[in-house]
Amino acid sequence: MVDRLKNRVAFVVGAGCVSEDWGNGNATAVLYAREGARVICVDRSQEAAERTRDLILGEGGTAIALRADIAISSTVSEAVHAGMEVYGRIDILHNNVGILEIGGPEEIGEATWDRIMDVNLKGFYLTSRSVLPIMTAQGGGAIVNISSVASNRWLGAPATTYYASKAAVNQLTQTLAVQYAARGIRCNAVLPGLMNTPMVVEPYRALYGSVDEMIAARDAVCPTGKMGTPWDVAYASLFLASDEAKYVNGVLLPVDGGLSCKCF
């Protein structure tokens, strides 16, 4: 540990995990804390946010847990206000939220399309809208959005709404990067490839027959022979959030073991 984020406050949305295992959100929140950040752990599940907070506190770090639904403006604003009440600043906004359902336009309903767009895209707008004025007043900050390699290529299943929403996250990221650069605010995105996280289990289980078959099939597609882990996403996010990336802005960083370099 070299305290890359010493004296920073990180507002991590999606800081929990759907299980008690490691996911992208809790791994990143814990790593930020290990590197000196005070972490505001935000999740739609209070219990999940508290589990991540407790992991950080158990390692001697500093964190609080808050509940917010990223797709509901009022709860996002309330969480930002509550975090400011405790720490008085927000230096890093980390948007880790993403949901998916398998299906193309004929299989999914309009309500499903709207729900996924609300969470995966509108939510990033809502968090940015709440935090950008704070960062502007402070004279700077860093936003890290978790997108996906699925934002620009087929990843083996017709998750149409997920693909479209993550493509839009890329454009949102680059637009904010340019618009706010002169104010000292950077905005970058991490594009995970095929990752072995709890999030992928339920949506993909039906396509492969069993979890073991799913893991084997997804591993086989990766150039390394293995899917990535939550810690791969966490370390990429740490770099983008830190001063080591002080001149890195508007980047869409694949974290995919080389998957983007090959045909699926």
pLDDT at res. 255: 97
Note if 180 is an active site residue: no
Residue 21 lies in a domain: yes
Residue 53 lies in a domain: yes
| Low-confidence residues of the chain: pLDDT under 70 | 1, 202-206, 263-264
Which tens digit of pLDDT belongs to each residue from 9-36?
Answer: 999 999 998 777 899 999 999 999 999 9
Which residue range(s) make up the domain with 174?
9-198+230-248
The domain tally of the chain equals 1
pLDDT at res. 48: 96
Joined tokens for residue 138: 């402070």
Residue 253 lies in a domain: no
- Phi-psi label, residue 87: left if phi above 0, alpha if psi -120 to 50, beta otherwise: alpha
For residue 142, the cross-strand partners are: 92, 186
pLDDT at res. 183: 98
Q: Alpha-carbon distance 42 to 67, whole Å?
A: 6
pLDDT at res. 53: 98
Residue 209 lies in a domain: no
Given 32, 87, 125, 162, the catalytic residue: 162
Q: Alpha-carbon distance 251 to 232, whole Å?
A: 17
Residue 219 lies in a domain: no
Which tens digit of pLDDT belongs to each residue from 231-255?
Answer: 999 999 999 999 999 999 999 999 9
Residue 61 lies in a domain: yes
Residue 183 lies in a domain: yes
Q: Alpha-carbon distance 259 to 264, whole Å?
A: 8
Helix (H, G, I), strand (E, B) or coil at 96: coil
pLDDT at res. 156: 78
Residue 254 lies in a domain: no
Q: Which one, of 173, 181, 190, lies nearest residue 135 by Cα?
A: 181
CATH code assigned at 114: 3.40.50.720
